[in-house]
Amino acid sequence: MKELRIMTVCGFGLGTSLVLKMTVDDVLQKNNIRANTFCSDADTAVGQRFDLVITSREMENLFKNVPQPVVVVDNFLSAEEVQEKAIPVILKMMEG
C-alpha cells in the first residue's frame, strides 16, 4: 500500500506545526495507518512533495491553487478533531 506524505504547516515549521504533527502521528497510530508525516514552513510548503496538508485556518489560503486535499484543524491538541476531519480523507486516499 502506498505510504502517504502528510505535511503539517505553520509559519516557520518548527513550533505550531510540530504540535500538530504530534497529534496527527498519535491518531494515525491509533488507526494503524502508516504514513510519512513532516512539518513545513509557510514559505516553502507549497513546493514540498506531499499528498495531503493539515494546517490551520490562517494557513489554508496558501494552498488554494494546489490540487492536493487540505484539512483545516482548529485545535491542534485535539486527537478527536484530527480523527474526525483527517482520517476519512486519508482512508479515502489510501483506497484510491
Alpha helices in 4-95 (DSSP H): 16-30, 79-95
| CB of 10 or CB of 86, closer to other proteins | 10
User: Given its phi and psi angles, is residue 13 left (phi above 0), alpha (psi -120 to 50 degrees) or beta?
Assistant: left
Q: Which of residues 20, 53, 70, 90 is near other proteins by CB under 8 A?
A: 20
Q: How far is the CB of 32 from other proteins (least distance, A)?
A: 21
CA 39 – CA 4 distance, rounded (Å): 14
Contact 19, 81 (CB under 8 A): no
Q: Does 11 bind other proteins (CB under 8 A)?
A: yes
Residues 43-72: x/- map of binding to other proteins (CB under 8 A)? -------------xxxx-------------
| CB of 3 or CB of 58, closer to other proteins | 58
Q: Does 78 bind other proteins (CB under 8 A)?
A: yes
Taking residue 48's Cβ as centre, other Cβ atoms within 10 Å add up to 14
CA 79 – CA 82 distance, rounded (Å): 5
Q: Which stretches of the chain bind other proteins, using CB under 8 A?
A: 10-16, 18-20, 22-23, 42, 56-59, 74-79
